[in-house]
Structure 1
Amino acid sequence: MTDGLPAQGRRRLGREWGCPVPESGAGRFAGLGLDAAEEELYLRLLSDGGASARQLGARCGLAAERAAAVLESLVAQGLVERPSPGREQWTAAAPDVALEELLLRREVELRRARGRINELMRTYRRSPAEAGMAELVEVITGRGAIAELWRSLQLGVREQVRVLDKPPYVRRSDPETELALLGRGVEMRAVYESRVLREPERTAEIRSFIRLGERARVLPELPLKLAVVDARWALLPVSAGTELEHVLLVRPSSLLDALIGLFELHWSHAMHFPAPDTADEPEDRHHRLLALLASGLTDESIARQLVVSTRTVQRWVRELMDRFGARTRFQAGIQAARADLL
């Protein structure tokens, strides 16, 4: 046994038996949640190819019972496989699979913990005099910090996310995170500024979200970027032009209520996100054309979206005007709204 030996003696004994005892209490895999004994036995099994609990205990200076308990812990973490019936040989799982799986589990745990940090802030008090506004509104600075906060808020969502989506973007979109939210039943509602329709790849990505349950609408212009997570947090820029460097994190307050109201107002005025063509029927084509026109896109942008020429778009617009007996596009839009085509 090594528990009663000084650190130097334990290291010497470990080297004699071939066990890589770390220089301090934290081993090379401490970040994965392994203690020194677990790390020693796992590395020993990797080098030996298999051994009984008694053999491992003797080689690493542990009692057989202690070695067996450590091995059971390693089994629970997916790092060690129990002996087959009638045998005593414990074996190590392949590190490229076992350690990667353990690492992923730790990452998930850390993300969940990070998502709960804001809940803990409710109990935080710096001083009675400073407890007021400091708890309601917090300034977050730096692209990395903003991106990480947004990811943490998404991981902590319980019921719904509401977004006013307006360039510029802090980071590239993270479809995997949104897909995970949709997969666990989170309600996603987003109002996109029409500029997003000029980007075919982004448009296709949004439509993939829609197919999985996101409710999306579009407006020609939005006043600001905004994300509301449940009714607990809101994220918005400090001012126009600071989206990439400074944002406000707003907690439950009358300001948060006002921001939720702002989203709902724009949601009620927005048009449904244009759906891709499913047939060549005029009704389908006209419906999508109306949605794109209502989104404020030019004929050239609409042509790119529909993969046709600008002259074709202009001809279709003329067909719409003739269909509704309208003299202008505006009149055609009014008639289309009355016919519930928008």
Structure 2
Amino acid sequence: MLQSLGVSGSAEALYMLLAPLDAASETELAELATGDPQETAALLVELQDLGLARPTGSGAWEPLPLLAAVAGLKIRRVAEIEAATTAAETLQNRLLARTQDHGEGYVNILVGREAILETRLELCETAVRDLCAFDKPPYVASRQNVTTAALSVEPEWQALDRGVNLRCVYHPGFDEDRLTELALFATKGEQSRTAPVPMKLLLADQQAALIPSMRSYEPGQELRASVVRHPLLVEALQWLFEAVWDASVPIVTTASVTESDPRRQMLISLMMTGSTDSAIATQLGINVRSVRRWISELMDDLGVTTRLQLGAALVRADNLGQVSYMRPRGGQRTTPEPRRAQG
């Protein structure tokens, strides 16, 4: 559950064993966990670096408060993203200035919806390994029919058919149609996460990027976008994507627990990352009372009476493979136009 903050699954599992104890020796923890003293020692060092545990000085280790450690890890991740964004902006400005005199074709400006759509299609069709995207409103028009048949003509969907790895970070705020589309793309094989994203973006094979101008979506403006092929600038944009991806929240889909309800899938995803009821309400665009009602319904479905029992039930489902994280791929197109960086 803490992987998005840089905590490995093995370290988290060891912390879960140590947390209920006042203190324990490496030997005791090794017997409880991996059975390998060297691996346990390495995991304890990782927990110490993350602020989750510390040695007592008598050969034992004690757990540190989880919420305080997570707050520190969150601050560190946000600082990393801000640094990556600043660096990308600086590099972009330098490279754009240089391409005025050198490297004809490294940065091309697209004007109009059709030109942007054509380039989005080209990038998706020519991708052979990876597509990475930031997806956020606004969109030119809303999709009328969110079905597998309707989505199958989308270039990202067809890229998945060819075996291209697709990851997407979605900006918070999900209506029912958008969640339905997220669930369909997840079933298709997309890896999806959610976090505030600075712009629309589509990266293909770490070789080209499509960046629509957010300002051009304002009323009365003509849509504009940039196609970037300069290696250093594409590398910077890929770096920015990975920084946001690492700090984002995996979107969870559950077959047995959520009955394929995309809203409940998002609810579980946010709960498993420790989000408050208020934060969940903001992400889903609903009020806190609705969040609490959904949580109550989920508890009834799982036969538990407390939130602690609910968390344990969801972790068990995760370990049994009943909860799986969506892989990065498409998102919610709301028009035949670029849905992520493109539209």
Q: TM-score, normalised by structure 1?
A: 0.47
Which structure exhibits the higher relative contact order, with contacts defined as CA atoms closer than 8 Å and separated by 6 or more residues? Answer: 2
Q: TM-score, normalised by structure 2?
A: 0.46
Greater gyration radius:
1
